[in-house]
Chain A
Amino acid sequence: MSRDLLKSYRFREERQADWEKLDFILRRAEINGVRSLTDDQMMALPRLYRQAVSSLSVARSISLDQNVIVYLESLCTRAYFFVYGARTSLGERMMTFLRRDWPAAVRGAILPTLLSAFFFFGGWALAFFLCLQDMEWYWTFHGQGFMEGRNPDATVEYLRSTIYNDGYGEGQLSAFSSYLFNNNAQIALFAFALGFAFGIPTAWLLVYNGVTIGSMYAVFWDKGLGYEFTGWLMIHGVTELFAIVLAGAAGFVIGGAVAFPGRLSRLSSARAAGQKAATIAMGCVIMLIFAALLEGFGRQLINSDTTRYLIAGGTLILWLAYFYIPRRGYAT
């Protein structure tokens, strides 16, 4: 009887139980997570994986059973990605991101950050000084009916009222700030993603945002509200503008890698830079959430200029310390 069986079938019969065991373990890990595996299963996994891989090599050369080969291909691929894939949970990944990856990525991109800051504050300064010389520039930058009447025609009293919390209901403002968060976060992601076109759209986006804020700044400055407006803007602006500058830096990291790949091929250069830059962009989203919280709640509840300045300075010191103070024990 056994002489009658095909060699390839006997081969399969001897190993089938192990394949199925591996299949079972993988399915369980895929559905319920790694933690659901018992110690025995964890111990058996590498052996079963190696066995399945060698079965596949043998099966390719001795078996013509299509189903067996397709099955083993799929089993080995799944097992390979499981065995050599990341075994960390989402929480662990977030922790390494916060503790190491994010500050390291920001620290590694100091030049792009400075470049990005140059474009943003350059646009700001340009608009500010142009507007101070001739307020007509404001209308060139903004068009009519923008920024809820915060324009050169507004009275000092009206402008002052927009800085302190009088005219608005609380809820309305928190909705407004989460709308702004959406907008800013989207712009930050665009600034990152557009970087691959040699960073040119990123630079434009930065200058444009700088011009918007700079011209508004000029309006308040012109009316003698510079000090108060700075407090109003900077309580969340330190975090928000920092985030936008960093998002621009992420764009420049990619743009620089694509434009000047050095010894690498353009593709692998973009790939190496893309991962670093994505880390920065992800961090920007987190910063913008902080900014939105400060804007939505902090700014409405705190009406004293001194406290606003204190918070602004405090956040600046915190971010700088978080990003740029070198850490022990982590090689970047």
Chain B
Amino acid sequence: MTETSQANPAPPRAAQTAHAQQVAAQRRARMQAQAQQSKLVRKLVTPEGAVLQLKLATAAERAGAFLIDVAIQWLIVLVTLFGLTYSITAMGWGTANIAFAFWLVFFFFVRNFYYIFFEIGQRAATPGKRALGLRVAARDGGRLTANSVLARNFIREIELGLPIQFLMMSGDQFSAWMGLLGITWSGIFLLFPIFNKDKMRVGDLIAGTWVIRAPKAKLMRDIASAASTAPDVAGRFSFTPEQTDAYGIHELHVLEDVLRKSTPDIKKQVASRIRAKINWQAQTGETDTAFLQAYYAALRRRLEQRMLLGDRKTDKFDVR
């Protein structure tokens, strides 16, 4: 049952099979993407016996968070250094030296304790991680101890700090080889999260932690409730069981996204495709949004009823 077979009366047979193949390929790709996503989900059973689904951060997200943090660290270091050199003229040489000594210690702490300071706190995330909605968590689901935070961040030193240190220490004649060694070394450690299923750094491995996504979500208005109360929607639409069986849960969620996020133009396109698929004759004065809301409510009611009876219709191809 493809879309074209209902929408257009008689498409050529070759075009029909080509289209069917294309749709099937799309579905396979979607299933694959879902499977990929679910590989990153870890189940955490709380002491209450409820299951929380933790989503691990991808390597890309972690890299992004790390770059933000490095930028912030450099900013702190450079601003304080400039501030110091600027005010040094106002000091005597003795004071300037002591100030510089303190700055060196400060530099050490920014370099090594920036991450620890933020991750030890309530939110268990550095500013970079917060910006991307990530946080550090203990792998066993218990509390994140200060020791774990220390361990995972001290290990960071050998992932990046050590090669940099060697590069700075090495003389001219060895610099090319040392550079190569340093890059290989860092490369192994930096790529480490990509090659294990839990996306752990070496530091995470030793500290018993991982980084999960914990974005804040907003509770929005229920679209189905809008459909039953809005004056231009309520009571105007009634769909037959065949019409509400045309789509599955995947399409319902896509429709939810369309209603919440997209432009009127896209809504118009989606509405016309749905109308074609379910053979709906547009009534006079019927707006696209009202139609979509009403259809969403009807579809959700139908799918939720079926779900209560243990029948999850995953998508429109799921015909039983």
* Contact A278:B207 (CB < 8 A) given known A73-B53, A175-B104: yes
In the bound complex, what is the Cα–Cα distance between A12 and B220 (angstroms)? 11
Is A322 engaged at the interface, CB distance under 8 Å to the other chain?
no
Contact between B219 and A67 (Cβ–Cβ < 8 Å)?
yes
Contact between A171 and B220 (Cβ–Cβ < 8 Å)?
no
In the bound complex, what is the Cα–Cα distance between A182 and B103 (angstroms)? 11
Is B76 engaged at the interface, CB distance under 8 Å to the other chain?
no
Which B residues between 103 and 153 are near A, CB-CB below 8 angstroms?
A: 104-105, 107-108, 112, 120-124, 135, 137, 139, 142-148, 150-151
* Contact A6:B301 (CB < 8 A) given known A178-B101, A186-B157: yes
Beta-carbon nearest neighbor of A185 in chain B: B108
Beta-carbon nearest neighbor of B51 in chain A: A57
- Residues of chain A within 8 A of B46, CB atoms compared: 53, 80, 84
Is B224 engaged at the interface, CB distance under 8 Å to the other chain?
yes
User: A96: shortest Cβ distance to chain B, in Å?
Assistant: 8
Is B253 engaged at the interface, CB distance under 8 Å to the other chain?
yes
In the bound complex, what is the Cα–Cα distance between A70 and B215 (angstroms)? 10
Contact between A19 and B219 (Cβ–Cβ < 8 Å)?
yes
Contact between A85 and B143 (Cβ–Cβ < 8 Å)?
yes
- Residues of chain A within 8 A of B150, CB atoms compared: 275, 278-279, 281-282
Beta-carbon nearest neighbor of B91 in chain A: A171
Contact between B97 and A6 (Cβ–Cβ < 8 Å)?
no
Contact between A65 and B122 (Cβ–Cβ < 8 Å)?
no
In the bound complex, what is the Cα–Cα distance between A65 and B217 (angstroms)? 14
* Contact A77:B52 (CB < 8 A) given known A4-B228, A90-B120, A90-B121: yes
Interface size on B, as a range, is 35 or more
Is B183 engaged at the interface, CB distance under 8 Å to the other chain?
no
Question: B-facing mask of A154-198, CB < 8 A → 1, else 0?
Answer: 000000000000000111101101110110011001101110100
In the bound complex, what is the Cα–Cα distance between A272 and B147 (angstroms)? 10
Contact between B151 and A189 (Cβ–Cβ < 8 Å)?
no
Is A307 engaged at the interface, CB distance under 8 Å to the other chain?
no
- Residues of chain B within 8 A of A274, CB atoms compared: 148, 151, 155, 206-208
Is A277 engaged at the interface, CB distance under 8 Å to the other chain?
yes
Is A200 engaged at the interface, CB distance under 8 Å to the other chain?
no
Name A's interface SS: helix
In the bound complex, what is the Cα–Cα distance between A265 and B223 (angstroms)? 50
Is B13 engaged at the interface, CB distance under 8 Å to the other chain?
no
Is A86 engaged at the interface, CB distance under 8 Å to the other chain?
yes
- Residues of chain B within 8 A of A57, CB atoms compared: 50-51
Contact between A8 and B101 (Cβ–Cβ < 8 Å)?
no
In the bound complex, what is the Cα–Cα distance between A56 and B107 (angstroms)? 46
Is A50 engaged at the interface, CB distance under 8 Å to the other chain?
yes
- Residues of chain A within 8 A of B101, CB atoms compared: 171, 174-175, 177-179, 296
Contact between B104 and A29 (Cβ–Cβ < 8 Å)?
no
Is A150 engaged at the interface, CB distance under 8 Å to the other chain?
no
Among A177, A182, A193, A292, the one with the most B-chain Cβ atoms within 10 Å of its Cβ is: A193
- Residues of chain A within 8 A of B300, CB atoms compared: 6, 8, 64-65
Is A291 engaged at the interface, CB distance under 8 Å to the other chain?
no
Contact between B52 and A64 (Cβ–Cβ < 8 Å)?
no
In the bound complex, what is the Cα–Cα distance between A101 and B202 (angstroms)? 24
> 6 additional contacts, CB 8 Å, given A68-B222, A278-B150?
A5-B225, A65-B224, A181-B105, A193-B155, A275-B151, A279-B150
Closest 9 pairs between A and B when the two form their complex, measured CB to CB: A171-B97, A278-B151, A274-B206, A271-B208, A178-B101, A275-B147, A278-B150, A193-B158, A171-B94
**Chain A interfacial positions (CB closer than 8 Å to B):** 1, 4-9, 12-13, 16, 19-20, 23, 29-30, 33-34, 50, 53-54, 56-57, 61-68, 70-71, 73-78, 80-82, 84-86, 90, 93, 97, 101, 169-172, 174-175, 177-179, 181-182, 185-186, 189-190, 192-194, 196, 254, 267-268, 270-272, 274-279, 281-282, 285, 289, 292, 296
Please list 14 pairs of residues, one from A and one from B, whose beta carbons are closer than 8 Å in the complex, sorted by A's number: A64-B252, A67-B220, A73-B217, A85-B144, A171-B97, A175-B98, A175-B104, A178-B101, A178-B105, A196-B155, A196-B202, A275-B148, A278-B150, A282-B154
